[in-house]
């Protein structure tokens, strides 16, 4: 074989490798999560268990795409807390919003989800209502799971809606 014949497959594979990588990554990015409603609606007791589970995570670090005690993002905390209470929740904030039922703020109960606009993105942040105007959430990079007041100016300004699991 001549050197040019041996080099041909290598050149083809080098040219195909980036294309295969793009196709593989594009496949993950283009398969959006389907928002399925939880199979079981949360009873008051189950919602309180989810609040308790979230409360045990206060102080855990924020971690993008995190959904374990090693670190949480906002929707990961919801998924983990409800999962430990026996309710399977979608992973993404938008899917959690789609899988739950809109309620009025006047009818809030512990365990309801609160959705907020952040960085110009509609309903891009979620927290779990704990009662007395407070909620638990995983706020942002560098932060930790914590409670905040729904009445604080920042959260009042960015509040979108409340929804029930």
- Helix/strand/coil (H/E/C) assignment for every residue in 9-66: HHHHHHHHHHHHHHHHHHHHHCCCCCCCCCCCCCCHHHHHHHHHHHHCCCCCEECCCC
Residue 156, pLDDT > 90, answer yes
Q: Between 104 and 31, where is the model more confident?
A: 104
* pLDDT at site 38: 52
Q: Average pLDDT, stretch 127-141?
A: 95
Residue 158, pLDDT > 70, answer yes
Query: Which sequence positions are flagged as catalytic?
Result: 74, 125, 137
Q: What is the DSSP letter of 119?
A: T
Phi-psi category of residue 151: left, alpha or beta, with phi > 0 → left and psi -120 to 50 → alpha: alpha
pLDDT of 8-54, one tens digit each?
A: 344 433 343 333 333 332 222 223 444 454 556 899 999 999 999 99
| Cβ contact 72:62 at 8 Å | yes
* pLDDT at site 76: 98
Q: Average pLDDT, stretch 61-89?
A: 97
pLDDT of 105-130, one tens digit each?
A: 999 999 999 999 987 888 899 999 99
pTM: 0.77
| Cβ contact 162:110 at 8 Å | no
CATH node for 44-164: 3.90.1720.10
Query: Cβ atoms within 10 A of the Cβ of 123, count?
Result: 19
């Amino acid at each position: 074989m001549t050197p040019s014949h041996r080099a041909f497959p290598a050149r083809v594979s080098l040219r195909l490798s980036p294309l295969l990588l793009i196709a593989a990554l594009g496949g993950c990015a283009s398969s959006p999560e389907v928002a399925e409603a939880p199979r079981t609606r949360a009873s008051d007791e189950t919602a309180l268990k989810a609040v308790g589970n979230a409360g045990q995570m206060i102080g855990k670090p924020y971690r993008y795409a995190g959904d374990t005690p090693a670190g949480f993002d906002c929707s990961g905390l919801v998924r983990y807390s409800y999962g430990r209470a026996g309710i399977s929740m979608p992973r993404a904030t938008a899917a959690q919003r789609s899988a739950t039922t809109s309620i009025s703020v006047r009818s809030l109960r512990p365990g309801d989800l609160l959705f907020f606009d952040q960085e110009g993105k509609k309903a891009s942040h979620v927290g779990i209502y704990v009662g007395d105007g407070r909620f638990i959430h995983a706020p942002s990079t560098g932060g930790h799971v914590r409670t905040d007041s729904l009445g604080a100016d920042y959260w009042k300004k960015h509040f979108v809606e409340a929804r029930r699991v």
